[in-house]
Chain A
Amino acid sequence: MRRTMLFLPGNNPNMVMNGGVLGADSIIFDLEDAVAPDQKDAARELVRCALEMLDFGGCEIIVRINALDTPYWKEDLEAMIPLKPDVIMPTKVSGAAYIHELEAKMAEEEEKNGIEIGRTRIIPLLETTLGIENAFEIARSTKRMAALYLGAEDLTADLRCRRTKEGNEIAYARGRLVCAARAAGIDAYDTPFTDVEDLAGLKKDAELARGLGYTGKAVISPRHVDIVNAVFSPSKEDVAYARDVFAAMEEAKEQGKGAVSLRGKMIDAPIVERARQVLEAAAQIGGMLDE
């Protein structure tokens, strides 16, 4: 499940320690923007200890490393790859060449540590206009690619416009990124909603992203996790309908019928596929299938 991807500052012991219990599907240990330059090594050390010692309860583990034009990213990878995080998140990704440079170093570290090459996946942060324009190229640049992630704050600076809650200024980027990700067969993560207190605004923003086809949304506050999870989870009605779809398919099969209809509508392949996705998601969330 990739409904929520929660940022945890890599230099905050309380947050790092408790990252697994905040309800997020994925947690991002941030070595980049949340950590001041003179704290980079301390954050690396704290995250290293946490990954060595603690169990994060099945959360997908992501480490956001520093950009490739900084002196930190290689050390980040050297410290993190041996700990087998699920995903490395590079920032300010502008094209396939960037990913190729990154994955060469990742492969080097994997080999050095006896880890299967290609095990560590990549979710790049696309937060420049060039990155958005090259989204499909980036999405297909490596087999490691797990999802694309839109970062709207830096993007709007690059676009030379103001970031608003309505998000009209990032409508194109949202559409372009999700289309590129889906075309490449991977997930798409929406940008975080940055007003921690505005929970109604958050819900609206998450619903917009879900409506566009996004898999989930990054969050910068633990308080946002449950709302985003709920928006990106199938509803009870969705689950009931999906079950009915499969029941109707089964019944038609028994009766030897070719065409299957449910509630007066034909069931075609996309409907069955959506139903399968809904039941799969519900099974992963747990509990929804008991009722």
Chain B
Amino acid sequence: MSKLAGSLREAIAASGLRDGMCISFHHHLRSGDYVLNMVLDEIAAMGIRDLTVNASSIHDGHAPMIEHMKSGVVTGLETNYIGPAVGRAISEGVLKNPVIFRTHGSRPSDLEQGVSKIDVAFLAAPTADPMGNCTGKIGKSACGSLGYAFVDAQCAAKTVVITDNLVDYPLYDWSISEDFVDYVVQVDAIGDPRGIVSGTTRMPKDPIALRIAQTAARAIDASGLLKDGVSFQTGAGGASLATADFLKQIMLEKHIKGSYALGGITGYIVDMLNEGLFEAIQDVQCFDLKAVESLRTNPRHMEITASRYASPTAKSTAAGSLDVVVLGATQIDLDFNVNVHTDSKGYIIGGSGGHTDVAACAKLTVIVAPLSRARMPIVVDRVLTVSTPGSSVDMLVTQYGIAVNPARPELKEALQKAHLPVKDIGELKALADKINGAPKKREIKKDRIVAKVQNRDGSLLDVIYGV
């Protein structure tokens, strides 16, 4: 038998795709991804309409899908994150049905539990063989881990693998296995390597981000969790990444050896593994070439599925054993609820990704954020959108001090004992307002819901209105 289709159109036709179905994509090629755009263009040309796209994330490189939303080819979107380009269009009402926002953990959970269904999964594969065994570790479009894509292959009624590096059967170091794959399509390019992973992730030089990161690292140390066997996750954004670097310095000074690092992985985390600061990395997504190289060559650097990462219905997950996580925020309110979905005007600019999952699971959830950005206070009375409930957040670290969730009095005490600048979150808000002036309250028209934000258990956390 042969699974090789002569063209993308041939594979789409063979998959039985028709109006009203759901198609899926992963986001490992991030903003460099060509596959989502090429599949939607082909589907539109074939006259198929009214589709729901279920994608683990939507990036700015996917802006061409806005036209397909306008023309009715795409009428629904289920995802965990939407970048500002597509987000703005959706906030302005381009999509027929409200977006369903899930988390990186609840997406695989809902697919495995049958809560959501995929008719055809289109899997961008940096390397594949003609039977569909595929990997992200090698090939000109290598992206490293294919963590978010496993569930698509396993749960979709039909799976189409799309590759720009077709190798002889059998591909020996496969991630996704042929038994889940129906068709294989060879194309010239699945993505632009410049947008897939950055060459190197740079440590921020912004003195404010560094000051926040340093305070966060000291607070984590003071919490008592930074000891042998510690596990942690930090984001790849400014202050989160810098926090990892400061934690590294403390671990080296105190001769602490951690258990594992989790999450989206950067070269900095790889360096920590190589310097013996961790036993292993559990990698659901690579952020730079160093991480890709490490995943390919170091057996202690493990590729994990999104389910193993953080599914709330899995028997156990890597997130479930997590000690410390450092995350960002667009806004945080007096109840410690965090918004990572919308900007101060209410436009969609992001999404939870794994934020809600790891915050709920980790023993210590640290939010790092400047007190204000471009004169907009980050600490507010009430967030515009609840992305992660305040009950999952233990402390906020800003350049002006640390606010500890009142539910964690013992943590507050530990930080005070370490002479860290602990403040009430209300004090931080007052300070932000004093410096920036209290922003005008924005009138939100509640006549049109453009997105529904689900908690990791599927319950409705919040809705996002059109702008």
Contact = CB atoms under 8 A, between A and B. Distances in A.
A binds B: yes
A21 B419 contact: no
Contacts of A222: 207, 210-211
B210 A223 contact: yes
Interface in B409-455: 419, 434-435
A114 interface: no
A286 interface: yes
B400 interface: yes
A21 B208 CA distance: 8
A222 B434 CA distance: 24
A248 B211 CA distance: 41
Nearest to A54: B435
B399 interface: yes
A39 interface: no
Interface residues of B, number: 11
B434 A53 contact: yes
B435 A23 contact: no
Residue of B207, B211, B399, B400 most packed against chain A (CB within 10 A):
B207
A17 interface: yes
A268 B211 CA distance: 42
Contacts of B205: 223
B207 A22 contact: yes
Given A286-B419, A287-B419, A21 B211 contact: yes
A277 interface: no
A164 interface: no
Contacts of A18: 207-208, 211, 399
B434 A21 contact: no
A70 interface: no
A14 interface: yes
Contacts of B210: 222-223
B207 A53 contact: no
Contacts of B419: 286-287, 290
A223 B211 CA distance: 9
A6 to B, nearest CB: 10
A14 B206 CA distance: 10
Contacts of B211: 18, 21-23, 222
A220 to B, nearest CB: 11
A98 to B, nearest CB: 33
Contacts of A17: 435
Interface in A11-60: 14-15, 17-18, 21-23, 53-54
A223 B207 contact: yes
20 contacts: A14-B208, A15-B207, A17-B435, A18-B207, A18-B208, A18-B399, A21-B208, A21-B211, A21-B399, A21-B400, A22-B211, A53-B434, A53-B435, A221-B207, A222-B207, A222-B210, A226-B214, A286-B419, A287-B419, A290-B419
Closest 8 A/B residue pairs (Cβ): A222-B207, A287-B419, A21-B399, A18-B208, A21-B400, A18-B399, A21-B211, A22-B207
